[in-house]
Structure 1
Amino acid sequence: MACRRENGWKAARKFGAVTGIRTFAGRYQPGVMTNPALEQYTEAKLVMVVDAWPDRNIVMDAVGMGIPVIALCDTNNQANDIDVVVPCNNKGKKSLGLAFWILAREYLKARGAIKGDEEFVEKLEDFTEE
């Protein structure tokens, strides 16, 4: 998961901590998925980005390797090379916090880590900026 947009860094890091998904908040170093010689090298099955334009390096790496890409997209985003579009406001701190809070909860439910919404103990405030 990658988030180049500064407004989403806190939410992205919290999402990664809660779900255990590797997260690049800030600059994604090119080659992390394509160059096994790098110390940070990782093999991904799926890539999620906050905004396809600022996160285009990881999108291009994923497309080149045939890895599906999920992107949070606002009305001004292009969906080129994106496999799944999640429509939402991907600019604001609070909207990104809410989106990641919901995604983390639903991911944990789908994986069987929690049974229902009431078992999700993370607070929305932990994902949002003040």
Structure 2
Amino acid sequence: MFTVEQIKAAHSKVKSGADFPAYIQDLKKLGVTYYETFVADGHTDYYGANNYKTTSPAKYPDLAIAETSNEEQFKSDLKAHQEGKTNYPTFCSDSAKSGIEKWAVSMDKMTCTYFDISGTKILVENIPQ
């Protein structure tokens, strides 16, 4: 199965949101089937076949997640990130301010779903292949 170190190596190629589709392809090759990234501290739970799970450590000090989500602001911040206008730490900070608790990526569906703190789906995006 895959390791956090292998995932880190794949992630090291990501410089902006524009690199996200290639990163997903790299994770699929490693055997990742699903993952959830938590905005509060940046840790990610990665899942693979046969109930395999590994977790990355926190990436930064805790961010406060806004209690009320701001869908329009989040979509604007996400678009800027995907266009390479912001780096990952900025995107995470912006997401927290917009009330995004986590995002979940399904390799089977090739989707990235963003959730607010109450578990409501804020946005489901198709990942380019």
TM-score by length of 2: 0.24
TM-score by length of 1: 0.24
Higher strand share: 2
